[in-house]
Each structure stands twice: as C-alpha cells, then as structure tokens.
Structure 1
C-alpha cells in the first residue's frame, strides 16, 4: 500500500470513530493547494540538469501551514501528499497553531555538490516564494536538507530525535519501565536516528543494532554510540565500524530487541515482516513506516506502536518555537527549548491516551482521532457549513 493510500485509510478510520459528517470528512481530506515546479540549474561541469519540485499545502484551519522540504530520489506527488496530510494531524496532535504542508525535490543530494545544492534550493524557493511565508506556509529541513539550507533554532538539529526520546520515556513509564536497561534497534542513522541513539544511550539504553544506507552493525552488549557517531561522520556511513558485527540491513527490523525505532523511510514494516518482529514496542521516528496490514498483525501480537504523528513531532514543535522566537525577536537558550519540548511531548502523550480511553482504540487511532478532531473543530469554527 502506498503512503497516500495508507495515510488516507487511517484518516477515514479516525473519521468513522469520531462520527464526522461525510461532507466535512471530504473537506478535510482534499489538499488546500498542490504545486509542481520545474527546477533547472547549471551543474559544476557546465551542463544543465532539471528536477521536479513539489509543495502540497494540505490545511490551514489551525494556522499557517507547516512542513519540511526533502531532497530524495523517491520524492513523488503521492508521497508529498501523504506527508502533507500527516503534518496536518501531527501539528494538531502537538497542539501547536499550525496546519500541514510538505515539499520535496526528486533528486539524490549525495550526488550534488554543495554549490549545486545551493543553486537548487534557491531556484526552488524562487518558484515558491509568493506562496510561502511566515503567516502562510513555513518550510523546514527534512530528509536530505539541513539547517544550512532552511534555517533553525537552537536545539532544532536534535529536536526530532529528542522528541523520540521523550515519547519513548512516556510510553515506557506507562508500563512501569524506563529507558535504562532496554535494548534498542534503530533503523536509520541520519539526523533523527543518530540523535535518538545518542540521547537514548546517554539515558542508559542499550543500542544493540543500527543500520543506515551503507550497512548495519550489531553488538548484543551495546554499541559504543559516541564512537559510532565519529566513525559515521568520518566515513559517511556506519559501514566498517569495528565495534560490532556487520549484518544484513534487511534483518534489523526482526532482530531481538525490546524497542524498535524505524527512523528511515516509510512502508518498511509490512505484512511480509510483521510476524517476525520481536520488539515489544515500536516508536515511529520515520513518517508512515508501518503499513496498515502490518498494524493489524502487530496488534494481535500485543506489540505497542507509538505512531509517527505523535512520536516524531519534536521537530515541528521546535520549529514552532523558532517561529515564536522570530516573531518576538527574542532568542531562547537551548535549555529552554529542550524543557519546552519535553512539556509538549509529555502533554501530547497524555492527550493521546485520553482519546484511547474515551474511544476504546489503540495508540495510532488515539493520535489520529485527536488530530483529526482538533482540525475538524477549527474548520467548523472558521465557518464551514455542516
């Protein structure tokens, strides 16, 4: 099931649980605006290269639309639509005054020089500039982009990974456990996965297996994360790290662990591997990593899944803090950013659990119904005629 179909299916299930008017349901599902632009740049060798860029502005009922811009070869209209929709529900779950949007360019940033990336970013921004802005649609870094491309507050680089830490702490505490002593498997060692690994390790969690695009490393005694971070930075990947045994990256999801953190691409947990997953908890640091069919299988096995629209909302929450700082013209120190993030993540978990209790649903539907309900209420208040 592709990303858009999976996301829309979860939305429709949440709308059914909430008893939404079908006309309102349709209104919430259709994007506000879809943009497709051609981006042609001169390469360093003097040749021209053309790329297709997208920006989907999904909903602005709760405030300016907000969402990252990713550079990745697999960027396409369906993926961007799905991610924009997820941003709408995610900002509502986090209870920040934003709507949802997402953008991307179908390219491989690893094959582009720094100057080529700069030219690509500038032409893409030029094509969008009259449709984005601080009170309209606020872009942010995402996969393949960073704070140099798209700015950021203190604490922004670590924000999504730190939010994953706070979300994991909240879920484990609900079951009388803590980070310390738990065994973690982390798929993806980019910005989110590496920060999550570092922060979880500092809290006493044992990271037993990690993967990235270069390979996967396993050490049942726990990987030395500071050393692995240094190796990854110096070698552009974890491959060749001598502090663990190399394994097939495809096996990471089914390795023996307590907590599985998919922090790479979407759709990696599906009906083909769900039965073999051994983790007791799954924290969705990536966007839509779990297929709806896998959800059913894992639920029957008793695996608890903390859904993406809550678990990885730390990034957009700190982006909101950045927006607030810019408007105020007053810069927060990093300690304040991190403390505020913990407050929002802790409160968000309580809100999701309350929806679970009131509707008798699982954590995914608790998060989706929370987000959809907040957006629906704002849409009606703004003048939608039921």
Structure 2
C-alpha cells in the first residue's frame, strides 16, 4: 500500500476548501503551514551512564481562537511533517466544535518500549525544558497522544511548575486525577465517537441490532468506542490491532475481547460470545481485510492514511467514522464520495478528546472538580451540536458532510482572523 505524506494530504484538503471560500493569498499563506515549528535536542542520561541525544518537535499552527492545543507523541516515526500536519488538523478540530483553542502538536523520535521508567521520565522532563519558553496555560497546552499517558503528563507538569516557580496544573491536560486530572478524560475520545454514532442512527433510522460495525484499532480510542457502541446495542463483527484481528459473524463483546487480550497478549483469533472466549472459533483477519469487509459502519481508529486510492474502490461500508487522525487520503475521499459513502471526518468524530481537555483546563484553572457524569453530558452536548450544525450546512448547500465540516471549521478561523 502506497503511504501518503500526511502533511501533503492536509495541505491538499485545506487548499480545496480555500478555493471554495475564495480565500485571499495572504490568508492561505498564513494557514497552509504552522506559525512556528520548534525543533530541539533532548540529551538524556541513560541508565548505563552514557548520554543519548533524542530529537523533539512542537508545531504551533494558529492561535487566533485561543492558546495552541494538542498532544505529544513518543514514537520512532515522529517527524517534522507529521507534527505540522497534526497541528493544522487540531486548529480545524477546535474551531469546528467551538473551543477557544488553536492547533498544536508535538513529539519525540523515540521507541518508548526500549526505555526504562527512569529514562522515560528524563526524556519527558527534557522535552518540557526544550519547549518551556513557548508553552503555558495561556500560550500552548500539551496533552497525551500516542505512547504518552497521564503519568508522563504528571512528570511534565511537575517540570513545568519547577521551571515556572509556581504550581501550574493548567499547563498540561490528560493528567492523573490527583493532579487536577479530569474524571472521564480517558474514555472521552471513544465516548465522543459513540455520540456521533448515535447521531448517524437518528439521521438514517438505523436499528442498532441490525447495524454491523468493523473497528480498526483497539487501543484507548478504539476499545472505548467499541465498548460504548456495544452498550448502545450495535453489532460489532470485526476488531483489529496492529498485528491483526478477529471477525465473528455472531458479534463480539469488546469487554470479553479485552479480557482475552490480557490473557493471550493479542486479540487476533479471540472469539468471544457470552462467557466463551477462545481462539478456536471465529476467523483471524488482517487489517486490510477488516477495511474491506461488508459492514454498515467502518471505524478506522488506528493510524493515518489507511484508506487510499488503491483500496477505496473495495470499501463496502455505507458510513465511515474517522476515529483516527487522517485515515482517508484526499484521493480516496473523492472515490468514496462518488460511491455515496458518507465519512464523518476526524475533526468531528474524535474531537471528544480535545473537548475533555478543555474541561480539564477549566477545572485546573478554577480548581473546581468535575464529576464524570458532567464530563460525558457536556461532551454529548458539544459534539451533538457540532454534528447538527455540519448536517444543516451540508443539506442547505447540498454538499458532502465531510466538506461541510471543513467549510465550517476553516470559515470560523478565517472570520476570526479578519475580525
């Protein structure tokens, strides 16, 4: 499968909308790439006493609507282009769901599985020292992303507070509960996707018991989305993770699949119905097979650019909920549109995470604890309202749903720049 460059794809997408909005060249120049890209070395003393140099990035796309906001990922494939693209997507995402943030994204080129806990802590604190002059509660508020978690955020906020000389819990989100973390933050992205699923059910009169789902990706986002979809009565017939997955015509219970993975180390081959969870039933499938399955709703919840011009003609789902960032290339999107497949874009489908980060930021600033029920209720309201606005625009202008989402988001940013 040909791998597209995410930054190129993001720019293509933006320029298509810029043409429709007839944007001035100076506005296009300001929005087609980040306002700032910070690249820096992170020298880390390893457990063997030697110093190893890691490389970190932070892209800050646009802050016209508020402070930059976006995650930090630790991954061997982190690159300048990747963080630039993801920072742009964060700007559109925050604008679409009406949050007072702009887009940012960061990362470190590292394989965290190869580090001890002490080395991971040193690299986390080193990252904060590298970006310290350009972040803060009213400037740029990082959060967890791939291979980063609440514990890493706790180290980072502690390092930031030391450098600042005062307690600054609002400088980071996605923190543990004991340091002003938010109840419900961990499942927020998956829950937000389930809110979108519920909206599709309303608009297209879907019967959950007869509506089949295939979910690619069974990490935090995919597993939580699967759990909430299952609770709502939808029939999940396929699940996968990076090493492959499982198909079961009778349907899968995500909780049982999680238990099976705990026991066996991977979900490939797990077949779970009722209390039976074994590898002797069902069918093992690859990620490529999952994408091309005959299901009602396809949910890419893993990595970017998995639906390309090569496999788009083979997609058989009627609806796609983009829980991953940028899972469909621009060329593939055109093929899907011609075939009448509706895509709910990532900037709406997975916005539950940044919406919850907004709640945590408010909580950390005001020192007021939110309960999980409040978090999930507010998420339902924000995402439900955003979906309805995009739906209305798509109907009024007679355009595709995904295009309406980008028109709405980019239009808001441009209006703020001109005001």
User: Do these two structures clear the TM 0.5 threshold for a shared fold by scoring above it?
Assistant: yes
Alignment deviations for residues 143-186 of structure 1 (CA, whole Å, 9 cap, x no partner):
11112222141111101100110012112311112544311111
- Cα distance in 1 for partners of 2:406, 2:383 equals 16
- 1:154 matched residue in structure 2: 183
Q: Secondary structure at the match of 1:157?
A: coil
CA contact (8 A) 2:269 2:283 kept: no
Q: Secondary structure at the match of 1:256?
A: coil
- Cα distance in 2 for partners of 1:352, 1:345 equals 11
Equivalent in 234, 245, 251 of residue 216 of structure 1: 245
Q: How does 1:336-355 map to 2 (within 5 A)?
A: 336-355=374-393
- 2:359 matched residue in structure 1: 321
- 2:136 matched residue in structure 1: 133
CA contact (8 A) 1:169 1:178 kept: no
Equivalent in 107, 116, 121 of residue 118 of structure 1: 121
Q: 1:336 to 1:221 in 2, by over 3 A?
A: same
Q: Secondary structure at the match of 2:404?
A: helix
RMSD: 1.5
CA contact (8 A) 2:235 2:251 kept: yes
- 2:220 matched residue in structure 1: 191
Q: Does 1:258 align with 2:311?
A: no
- 2:156 matched residue in structure 1: none
CA contact (8 A) 1:284 1:312 kept: yes
Aligned length: 381
Alignment deviations for residues 194-252 of structure 1 (CA, whole Å, 9 cap, x no partner):
10111111111111111112321111111121111123245543245325321223211
Alignment deviations for residues 115-155 of structure 1 (CA, whole Å, 9 cap, x no partner):
22222111111111121111000001111111222214111
- 1:30 matched residue in structure 2: 33
Alignment deviations for residues 73-107 of structure 1 (CA, whole Å, 9 cap, x no partner):
21111111110000000000010100000011122
- 1:248 matched residue in structure 2: 286
Equivalent in 203, 206, 226 of residue 174 of structure 1: 203
Q: Does 1:57 align with 2:60?
A: yes
- Cα distance in 2 for partners of 1:109, 1:330 equals 34
- Cα distance in 2 for partners of 1:133, 1:248 equals 42
- Cα distance in 1 for partners of 2:367, 2:37 equals 32
- Structure 2 unaligned segments of length 5 or more: list them: 154-174, 176-180, 271-277
Q: Does 1:79 align with 2:79?
A: no
- Cα distance in 2 for partners of 1:215, 1:270 equals 19
- 2:326 matched residue in structure 1: 288
- Cα distance in 1 for partners of 2:211, 2:152 equals 36
- Cα distance in 1 for partners of 2:330, 2:285 equals 28
Q: Does 1:42 align with 2:42?
A: no
Q: Does 1:66 align with 2:69?
A: yes
CA contact (8 A) 1:180 1:203 kept: no
Choose 349-358 or 366-375, whichever is displaced more. Answer: 349-358
Q: Tell me by how many angstroms 1:46 deviates.
A: 3.6
- Cα distance in 2 for partners of 1:181, 1:118 equals 47
- 1:384 matched residue in structure 2: none
User: Higher relative contact order at CA 8 Å, sep ≥6: structure 1 or structure 2?
Assistant: 1
